[in-house]
Amino acid sequence: MSPLSSTHDQNLQLAPLLGSLGELIRQARQKALRAVDTLQVQTCWHIGRHIVEFEQEGAERAAYGKRLLPTLAKLLTAEFGKGFDTTNLRHMRGFFIAFPICDALRRELSWTHYRTLLRVENSNARQWYMDETATLNWSTRALERQIATLYYERLLASKDRPPVEQEAATHIQTLNKSPREFVRDPVVLEFLGLPNAGTLLENDLEQALINQLQGFLLELGKGFAFIARQQRISTESKDFYLDLVFYNYLLKCFVIFDLKRGELSHQDIGQMDMYVRMYDDLKRGPDDGPTVGIILCAQKDESVVRYSVLQGNEQLFASKYKLVLPSEEELRAELDRERAALEERLLNQNLQSG
């Protein structure tokens, strides 16, 4: 009997045991996630309550005004790390106002669910979406879809509800297939204060390329200082995670790198333009130059590089940054080289395991 046949037979014999162990591990992870979700939601609610009660205690407290949340964010972040920025504190404050009774909250929902629900202004609709999410086990993506398509309003307006319900259920089936995994949720990681949250998200070729690119840029010696990986920036309703962020002290500006799978699309370019605008609003200092966004497309037959600079003195700055930032040819060559090396390592690993 060949070694391959022997290994195959052993795998068949172990299949029932592996199935049982896999189910046990999945259930344990879900229970752990549920416990963290419950604690996080309760903590966010109580933080919001304390902030609102502080603001309501007389004119002296109210005088803090717009300075309160940024000041709290700076102090809490210094002691507890990410997850307590101004945007998140504003959500916590709004969370308490929208759901003033803690016991009425549904334990089945995560903090990300509740942040999504805060976008619903109608209190009756918000309550209905909360109950439906808990009852039908909607993921956050499914909840976002139902809100965006005005599911509640369409049901109220419809004289024949079953077709509307069937249409909604059909569209969210694929969105509810995979529950989020505990170690892959940046919001949970930030809440727990775990270090290097970004590195815990890496398990595919694209993220491995980002690993190599980070070292490549630092080795260029053109003024790059590493700032963050998987850095979260937020709108009022959504979180976005930037693959790599550097500061270039020759240009005196932030440089954002975003790696895309497949062919580069107009949506990818629009998203990077949004990232650049948001970063300028949230992070750029008065003496900093306009933020630069660089999109890298790792598709096999076309390693595309696209630059984005949006704010002020674009022409002058563009000519200046071309002297300092890596050229499109340098970035394309580095992507191709590292991708080939990584694919070779993966192939060798597969051959050895087979």
For residue 252, the model assigns a pLDDT of 86
Contacts of 96 (CB under 8 A, 6+ apart): 45, 48, 49, 51, 52
Contact predicate 97/52, CB 8 Å: yes
**DSSP tag of 85:** S
Instruction: Provide the phi-psi class of 328: left if phi over 0, else alpha when psi is between -120 and 50, else beta.
Output: alpha
For residue 274, the surrounding DSSP H or E stretch is helix 266-282
User: Residue 316: its pLDDT value, please?
Assistant: 45
DSSP 181: P
Q: Tens-of-pLDDT digits for all 354 residues of the chain? A: 555 456 666 667 778 888 888 888 878 877 877 888 889 999 999 999 999 988 887 655 656 667 888 899 999 988 887 788 888 899 999 999 999 999 999 988 989 899 989 989 899 999 999 998 888 888 888 888 888 888 888 888 777 777 767 776 666 665 554 444 444 456 666 777 765 555 544 445 556 666 777 777 777 667 888 888 888 888 776 788 888 888 988 888 898 888 776 667 778 888 888 888 889 888 888 888 888 888 877 654 455 556 665 544 444 445 556 666 777 777 777 777 766 776 676 666 656 655
E runs forming strands in the chain: 224-234, 239-248, 253-260, 292-299, 302-309
| Strands 292-299, 224-234: pairing kind | unpaired
**DSSP code at position 174:** G
Neighbours of 262 (CB within 10 A): 11
Helices 140-148, 123-136: crossing angle, 10 deg rounding: 140
Q: Give the side-chain half-sphere CA count within 13 A for 238.
A: 8
Q: DSSP character for 234?
A: E
Nearby residues of 236 by Cβ (< 8 Å), 6 or more positions away: 87, 90, 119
Q: Return the pLDDT at 181.
A: 45
β-pairing verdict for 253-260 and 239-248: antiparallel
Q: What is the pLDDT of residue 35?
A: 84
Residue with tokens 């550097």: 246
For every residue of 11-42, DSSP letters joined together read HHHHHHHHHHHHHHHHHHHHHHHHHHHHHHHH
| Ranges of each domain in the chain | 21-184, 203-353
Cβ neighbours, 10 Å, residue 161: 11
Q: Looking at the domain covering 203-353, what would its CATH class be?
A: alpha beta
So what's the pLDDT on residue 343? 66
| Whole-number pLDDT of residue 46 | 95
Q: How far apart are CA 13 and CA 96, in angstroms?
A: 54
In contact, 216 and 325? CB cutoff 8 Å: no
Q: CA-CA distances (angstroms) from residue 234 to 80, 94, 242, 324?
A: 19, 15, 11, 29
pLDDT of residue 259: 79
Which of these, 112, 236, 257, lies nearest to 186 by C-alpha position? 112
- Amino acid present at 285: G
Fill in the amino acid letter for 130: M
> What CA–CA distances, in Å, run from 17 to 31, 111, 182, 198?
21, 35, 23, 33
Structure tokens at 37: 């979700």
Report the half-sphere exposure of 227 (CA within 13 A, side-chain side). 20
Residue identified by tokens 């879900």 is: 30
Q: Which residues contact 190 (CB under 8 A, 6 or more apart)?
A: 81, 82, 83, 197, 232
